[in-house]
Structure 1
Amino acid sequence: MSQSVIRVEDLGKKYIIGNDQQANYQSLRDVITDKVKSVFSKQKQKDDFAEFWALKDVSFDIQQGDRVGIIGRNGAGKSTLLKVLSRITEPTTGSISIKGRIASLLEVGTGFHPELSGRENIFLNGAILGMGRKEIKSKFDEIVDFSEIEKFLDTPVKRYSSGMYVRLAFAVAAHLEPEILIVDEVLAVGDSKFQKKCLGKMGEVSSQGRTILFVSHNTTFVRSLCNKGIWLDKGQIKQTGSTSEVINNYLSSMHDQVFDENSEIHNSLNRRGNGNARFSKIVITDTNNIESPNFLSGQDIKFNFEVKINQPLSLLFASFIFKSPTGEIITNTRKQDVSVFLRPNEKDYTISFSIVLENTPFRAGEYDMYFWLGETPEKFFDVVDAILPPLQISTNKDEDELAYNPAAPYGFFDINAHVISAN
C-alpha cells in the first residue's frame, strides 16, 4: 500500500514588492538612505510597497511512487512551489511534511560550485544528499556515461555550456538514488535527444518506486511521464487529478488567450522581425468559424489572421511552422503558396486573410505553432514563437494509446501506402 511522502497543508509564500526597492532584500546602505530621505520628504504612501502572494492556500498529498506533473501559465507559482518543497526558500504560512531524501534540479547549475571540476561536483552533490564516498563511487561511472561529458570531467564547471551543466546536473540528481526527484523546466535547455534520454531515465526512476515532481510547459512530456497532475493558477491550485484530465482542462482554459491587440500576449517578447508588418490578431477555428482547442486528425483547420501594415509594402508572404514536443520542425507551409498583395504606396492599415490547412495529417498529440511574415527568409517582418496554446490533435479511432510518446516510434503523420506490384 502506498504511503504519503509529501503532504502540503495551507501553504503560502508571500513576497514584498515595492516601487523603488525590493523590500525583501535591503542592504544597510539602503536602510540608511531611506531614513535620510524620510527626514526631507513626505511620509511614504502605503502603496509604495505591496504584498504579493506567489502561493496561497495550497494543499495536496503525494504518495510514494507518484509521478506528478505540475503545470500552469508563467507566474502561476510552479517554480516557487518547487523551491519551497526543496527548502531553498521558507514558506510564509502552512506546513510541509516530507519523508525521504530529495534531489532537485531547478535551474542550470543548481548545487554546483563553479570553481570545482565536474568530477568534484559529483562528489559534492552526493555529499549534500547525505551519501558516503563509497556510495557515490559506485554510481560514478553511470553518471559520467549518462552525462556524456567524460572529456571535460576535470574541467571547472564554470567553463561548461548550459547544455553541459544540465546534462551533468540531471545525471547526478537521477543516479544518486533520492527517494524524491524534483525537476523544473530546466530540461528545455538540452537538445531533443537528451530530453528523451532524461524522460526515459525518470520513467526508470519511477518504476523503482521513487517519487517524481516534474514542472514543464511541454504537456506532451507531462502526459507521457506522469500519472497525476496539479494545475496551478495565480498561486493557487486550480485542479488536481489524473494527468489527462488536468491537462485537457488546462489547455482548454488557455484558449481564452486570443492573440489580439488587447491581449497580454500580444506584446510578448517572444517575437522578432523588423516590424514593417506585424500580426495583430490570430484566431484558429474550424471551417465553420467555430473556435476550438481540439481538432481531429484529418480535419480541416482554419487560421484567421489580421496584419497591421506599418510601412509601404507591395507584397508579403505568410507561413506557419509546426514543431514537435521535443522542438524539431516537422513541417511548414510554403511561403509561395500564401502570398498577399498589398497597397504599395500606403501604410498604417490592417488587412485580414485566412489560411486553411486541409486534411490535417498529424497523429494525436500537441504541436507548437510558429507564425512568420516576410519577403524572404533573410528579410522578415514578424515572427511569433509558440505563444499560443499548442495545436491539439486527437483521433476518434480506438488507437489513442498511439498518441505521441517520445520513446515510441510512431512518428507524427499517418501516410497512405499500397502495393502496386508483387511477384
Structure 2
Amino acid sequence: MSQVSPPDLAQLHAGHQPTIWRHGSDAESVRTIGIGEFARLTASGRGRFEELQEQFSALCAALPAYTSGVRAFVSATFSPVSQATSVLIVPRIQWHIGPAGVRVIDLSDLMAEAPEVSQPPRAASRVVAQHAGELSDEAFLSGVREAVRRIEAGELAKTVLARDEVIELDGHVPIGPLAAALAEAYPTCWTYYVDGLIGASPEMLVRVRNGEVASRALAGSAPVSGDLDADEAAAEDLMTSAKDTSEHAYAARSVIEVLRRIADVQVSDTHVLRLPTIMHLATDVSGYLRGEHSALQVAGQLHPSAAICGTPREAAERVLAELEGFDRGRYSGPVGWVDDSGNGEFVIALRCARIEGRADGQDLRMYAGAGIVVGSDPQRELAETYTKMLPIRRAIARVLP
C-alpha cells in the first residue's frame, strides 16, 4: 500500500491492522485512517484514562519533530472492573484527510523490527446464523420491569439496560466494506473501527481543539419511519414526552456538571436530532477549557454519563451490572483519537458490534441499550434496542448480500 495516497476505506481488511475514524460526507468528510501498529498501550481500572494519557505523552516526548501531530486511537472499557482491557493504538502509518488536504505520518523507520507484511484479504464471508447473545429478549424485559420497580421505590432515578445479539459469519468480517457502508449511510455520525470494535455513533462525548471543548448529550428517542408527516408528529411527541424529556435531562445534566468544573461553557436549547433510523433529544455544550486537559482526560471525566449509565451514577452502575448480567467490554465506553497536543475527538461507542473469533469463522456481537426511568414500558424499550441495532444489520446486509 502506498505511503502517500490515502487507502481506499472499502479495501481495508484485517491484515492491514486498520484503525478508522470518519465524519461527514463526500469532499467535506474528515478522516483519520491508519494501518499497522507502531505502539499498543493498555490500561485497566479506574485510572485507565490517565494511565493511557501518561503512557502516550511519554511516547510522544521521545518521537522526532517531524511526527508532530501524531494521533493515537483509543477504545476504553465501559466499566473499570471489566474483564476487557482499554487500548491505545498508534498506527504505523496514519493519514489525516480533510477538505484542506492530506497529511501522512509514517513511523515505519522508527520501529525496532520491520513491520509485518499485510496479508491478502480472505474469501468473502456469508451470514450463517443470527441469534440472541448473553441476554435474551425475555431477560431484558424482566430487567426493565425490575429497574422500573427499583426506580419507583426511590433506589435511583435512571438506569440504562443493554442487550446483545450475534451475527455469525462463515469467514472473516469485511472490515473496510462494513465501515464504508456505515459511513455512507450515516455521514452525520462518527464511523470508527478500533481493535475489533466497529460502529457509527451519533453521540459525541467530547471534542477538544486548541482549548475549545464541545460535547453533545443524547437521550430520549423515537423511531424514524421515513413518512415525513408521521416523523414530524413523532418529533413533536418526543419534545413533549414526560418520560423522554426526563431521561434526556438526566443525561444533559451529567455532562454539563462535569464540564462546568473545568471549562466556561454555554448550553444549547434541547432539540431533535434526526438520523436515518432513529431520532433523539439532543443538547449541545461548548466552551473553553480552564487549564490543560487533553481530549482523553476530559473523556475520562465525562464517562460514564447518565446517557449510557444512569443517575445517581453509583446506584445506576450497580443496578445495571445486576440486571444485565454480562460484561459490556468496550461497548458504550469512549472511543476516538487524541494527538500529541491533547486535541482529539471521542464518541460513545454506540451503534456498534465487537468482532469475535470462532474456529470456523467470526461473529459480530451487536449491542444496544435503552434508558429506563419512571414510566418506561418494557416492550417499547425492547423495540428501541432493535431500532438501534439496525445500522449494523443494514450495513452487513449491504456488504454481504
Normalised TM-score (structure 1): 0.22
Larger Rg: 1
**Greater relative contact order structure (CA < 8 Å, 6+ sep):** 2
